[in-house]
Amino acid sequence: MAESSHFTEADYYQARFDSRAYMNNFYCRPEGHSDEKNYLTFVLECLSRTFSTGQYKGRSLIEVGSGPTIHAVISACEHFDELVLSDFVDRNREEIRKWVKNEEGCFDWKPIIEYVCEMEGTSSSDVVVKLRQRVKQVLKCNVLSENIFYPESIEPADCVITSLCLEAACKDLPSYRDAFCRVAKLLRPGRGNFW
């Protein structure tokens, strides 16, 4: 990863990232944004195939860098009792909390959940209930910090997932390597479930 003079710093995301515009543009339908050529369906199908094997299961799963989204844990919710979602941007975490609490005006994940449930042959209403029950924490995370979830301290998980978070947060290869090592330490010893 080459260092870029156009690297976007964390403070910029905190101040200016529009969580709702992001979700409306990229997550309002399973196909995602037209410029991404079905990237979202590809991701949802990969997650479904991965978790449907039953190989990845346990008590807890941590997603590092969820953004304002829940799409990455839809297929996983059948296989883990506790889901911990996280993001650096306050508004992103608030969007997740609003959906988990089913607050008025929360983002409508129904088209995405129904797409996944149709693939997996499950009931979307059951999956919504499980998701809302199993998301136990929505934490602030900073992969550049020694303790990613400072000031919180959480137990290692059976599975850790992350997608595009390290790439967005790290401006060069050394910082990426360091962040990757910190994220890998979130896995319970003896578990190899890092996706």
CATH numbers and ranges of domains, the chain: 10-186 (3.40.50.150)
DSSP 33-69: -GGGSSHHHHHHHHHHHHHHTS-S-EEEEEEE--TT-
Phi-psi region of 8 (alpha: psi -120 to 50; beta: other; left: phi over 0): beta
Q: How many residues does the chain have?
A: 195
* pLDDT score for 9: 77
40/52 Cα distance (integer angstroms): 18
Instruction: Read off the pLDDT band of 3 (50, 70, 90).
Output: very low
The pLDDT, as a whole number, for residue 183 is 92
Q: What is the pLDDT of residues 75-117, one digit of tens each?
A: 999 999 999 999 999 999 999 999 999 999 999 999 999 999 9
Question: pTM for the full model?
Answer: 0.89
Token pair in block for residue 53: 């094997």
Span 114-160, pLDDT tens digits? 999 999 999 999 999 999 999 999 999 999 899 999 999 899 999 99
pLDDT of residue 30: 86
Q: What percent of the chain has pLDDT over 90?
A: 69
Give the Cα separation of 70 and 67 in Å (integer). 8
